[in-house]
Structure 1
């Protein structure tokens, strides 16, 4: 109980630091659509009255989890910090979101959960299958200052400095276990990833600027985001696509990558065996992303996130006021799924290529509409576009990249919304629950949809996107990126 009184100020990043409610404040509050979300009705700090508290509002991507914790509000001024010096033992790569610190005061180091992924992360074992894995070590760091002047900033900056020191020490040399190899018993993989998209640069390659390149268990392109048994090693490439992955545990891996601004997943075709002391130079690798023809129109940015789309303000009665002045993190607010109904009470979203702006006209999540009786209805979005000419005997291509999917069945139709059989359906996909958990992305999905030219019209056309499962408020998709391509013969 003493610690709950002592630690009230939480810090998980440079821009997410605040005085938090207490566990007792939550207990006396009003539970909302699920137990983790509570409306504070009688908090000990009156400034927090009427605010929504939810631990998922403080989740972060694995790549961004390095240090988080609490600062005391009584003398002596003390900081309590959880440091994650390596992500090698964490699951599903750099974009997996996980809990950090939240009301309690609670600070977590989470090794394995289904958050923002779903049941795909539940490990399954064959009879007699051996398995072991080393998690951590995870340092717990305490610091203090004697001067009260700007003590929170001082403690936070010191904690960040300590975290970088721990990163530099990894892998630790004090672990006396054959299951934790030292640096000289590990390997290094380096190379350069280039992108070839002939519809951007016909003959040339360009460096995979800021690509995430990683080693993970052997699988298929993109399988790393559902992999939980093995170790993963990820780095961010430089502007030319150069990368060096150091301190890789011995084992067999595939090399994977994804590139901001480019759709799809890269996989190196050969297995990479890492032996103690190995130094493997792969040279120049070329990623040819999914592409069938030149771009006719596109919506969004292919970055595996829905952050560029329109995220509404929360209902005034359900806001976390801390995020009201943080426009880039509006998606962390509670109840945004029902704001779609507020904005589109009768008719669904209609987007007109060339006129609409996805930053204001494309709702960040394709969700269900809430009916007056409290049930939810499926929704169909429209994309209107013009074609000056149509090649009726060739196929066009619709590239659909999803940043998240939860209990959804997305259907695609062209120019006829009443057609019983959709041109394309995903069937039931997704369990990442990012809509309810205030995420702006979950698992990544990509589909290339063939569109016969004889279904298109010279002049105005309409693409219909139907989210056909309507069992509750949290089902739906977040689009990452849509691109409509002409037939290859038009290039």
Structure 2
């Protein structure tokens, strides 16, 4: 009874403090009289933040968190810190959550208040303007371990926030009762009695395409708006979790994953001290998606923000150039990425520093603006279209960007092979687009619709007759005619948009074994079994076909799955055969 009375007293004290805080003028930071936390906010909103969790989020006279977990931040998949073991800090979602040891005013200007919450590993800043419903946030590394996932998030009341929205999906979140009544079939995935699935991965999105995302209902909306995104790991095909219904409690979850690996082979990184993630805007409104969209446009136009006046953040330049293939063609529409210098890490898995992504125009010209001052490497690859036959990747190291410098790289020659192509299925773009179900709305288990056996006839079949994913035991056969015999050898190229263990593929040409892609040898990403229909981690192989194997008349290439795991397998990008 004493414990219940103490808890009740604390709740009353917190509620009274929050009510008093709403009568404050302008942005504020207040310590609770109990010494167990702080309240921040302005005349429009306020939140009570304890050692780990932010609770009692008041906006328009209502607590938007209620019994949900609230606002918190943390990391996962890195070494366990000794201070965590000693303090036995609990985690409600399998991650290590930051423990706030202090809160203080970092900067109090005439325009805003910057409040910093400090943990051993990081500082989390809240930049609060007087008339803004919400706050800008940014995170600064002090002593983070090597990690794969770093995020902030809000877990909000499940009756107030009934829907979720990203640039790719806007729909009602699944009712908590439906999750409880369903059968769990894999991580965060449940099968209902009618055979359909509920999974949080259906709400994932490609990070650099998101305008804004969040959860909303009839009267309230909570949104993350992230312009810039140079602090987020990975290239154009970086995808992450965004919103979902929490399976353990029913909370409406609004995720801000700023370093993640949910769809990759790996993305563990060790960060320099001072690495800054953000700022982004956490924004509250009446649930209007139109208002959130308008605010997002305003924020993207204002980036990089002027209030973060550190030299590292404000020191920026511009990089431009023109990519030209060695055969004379402009690299029309190529994907362009400015990333780690002198690195052997894939562009999707890079994440230590800052990254910039764009596309070339029809003439191969590209511009990357507001690039932090540093030394980079420039990477490029085919994004389909006019250069959909190009498998080679362009790279150039030692790109030095100076403050306020317009670095013009001029014409950059991209070396490509000039072999005679016999056939090609699908564009080379590191994506499964163009194939059956390729790029379909995310849904669990879609690859199970792909046939076990398939015949593709070059010259008659279309790319849409080839399926985006191959999983079941069986053979996919490509038939093609050659007008005459040749003593030349050939190269069979396989470009995979992704691969999920455990499946094996045996490849033959006219009955001659060419190669095997075995689960034991391949790096695996989770994209295919986590509702991905476009891309995971790119793989590229060139396989030698001996002279004399190809014949005049009908020939075949066979891709035989000899080992099968449900919902796992091969996510296709392109297949082509060249004369050497």
- Aligned counterpart, 2:356: 233
- Aligned counterpart, 2:496: 402
- Aligned counterpart, 1:187: 317
Equivalent residue in structure 2 for 1:66, among 207, 211, 222: 211
Instruction: Find the residue that maps to 1:247 and give its secondary structure.
Output: strand
Q: Residue by residue, what CA displacement relative to the aligned partner does 1:215-249 show, whole Å, maximum 9, x if unpaired?
A: 10024688212212121111222222222211211
- Aligned counterpart, 1:12: 166
Q: Residue by residue, what CA displacement relative to the aligned partner does 1:82-130 show, whole Å, maximum 9, x if unpaired?
A: 1111221111112111111122311111012221112x3123x6xxx95
Name the one with the larger strand percent.
2
Instruction: Find the residue that maps to 1:164 and give its secondary structure.
Output: helix
Distance 1:410 1:51 in 2: 29
Larger Rg: 2
Residue 358 of structure 1 pairs with residue 496 of structure 2 = no
- Aligned counterpart, 1:384: 479
Residue 174 of structure 1 pairs with residue 307 of structure 2 = yes
- Aligned counterpart, 2:531: 438
Query: Would the alpha carbon gap of residues 36 and 265 (structure 1) be closer, same or farther in structure 2, given more than 3 Å must change?
Result: farther
Distance 1:51 1:273 in 2: 52
Distance 2:274 2:542 in 1: 38
- Aligned counterpart, 1:110: 257
Gapped runs of 5+ residues in structure 1?
42-48, 145-151, 199-203, 312-327, 370-378
Kindly indicate whether the alpha-carbon contact (under 8 Å) linking 1:62 and 1:93 is maintained by their aligned counterparts in 2. no
Name the one with the larger helix percent.
1
**How far off is 1:16 after superposition?**
2.3
Distance 1:21 1:5 in 2: 12
Which 4+ residue blocks in structure 1 deviate beyond 6 angstroms? Answer: none
Kindly indicate whether the alpha-carbon contact (under 8 Å) linking 1:212 and 1:258 is maintained by their aligned counterparts in 2. yes
Kindly indicate whether the alpha-carbon contact (under 8 Å) linking 2:493 and 2:542 is maintained by their aligned counterparts in 1. yes
Instruction: Find the residue that maps to 1:167 and give its secondary structure.
Output: helix
**Which of structures 1 and 2 has the larger relative contact order (alpha carbons within 8 angstroms, sep 6+)?**
1
Equivalent residue in structure 1 for 2:379, among 256, 279, 286: 256
Task: Output aligned runs, 1:284-433, within 5 Å.
Answer: 284-289=411-416, 291-311=417-437, 330=440, 332-340=442-450, 343-344=451-452, 348-360=453-465, 362-369=466-473, 379-392=474-487, 394-407=488-501, 408-416=503-511, 419=513, 422-423=514-515, 425=517, 428-433=521-526
Instruction: Find the residue that maps to 2:353 and give its secondary structure.
Output: coil
Kindly indicate whether the alpha-carbon contact (under 8 Å) linking 1:411 and 1:468 is maintained by their aligned counterparts in 2. yes
Distance 2:464 2:559 in 1: 19
TM-score (norm 1): 0.77
Distance 2:268 2:449 in 1: 33
**How far off is 1:12 after superposition?**
1.3
- Aligned counterpart, 1:323: none
Kindly indicate whether the alpha-carbon contact (under 8 Å) linking 1:433 and 1:474 is maintained by their aligned counterparts in 2. no
TM-score (norm 2): 0.66
Q: Residue by residue, what CA displacement relative to the aligned partner does 1:192-216 show, whole Å, maximum 9, x if unpaired?
A: 12234x4xxxxx422x333221210
Gapped runs of 5+ residues in structure 2?
1-64, 67-156, 246-250
Q: Residue by residue, what CA displacement relative to the aligned partner does 1:33-87 show, whole Å, maximum 9, x if unpaired?
A: 213112356xxxxxxx8752211111111221220112222xxx33221111122
Q: How many residues are paired up?
A: 414
Equivalent residue in structure 2 for 1:450, among 526, 544, 553: 544
Query: Would the alpha carbon gap of residues 367 and 85 (structure 1) be closer, same or farther in structure 2, given more than 3 Å must change?
Result: same
Equivalent residue in structure 2 for 1:91, among 229, 233, 239: 233
- Greater Cα shift, 263-272 or 97-106: 263-272
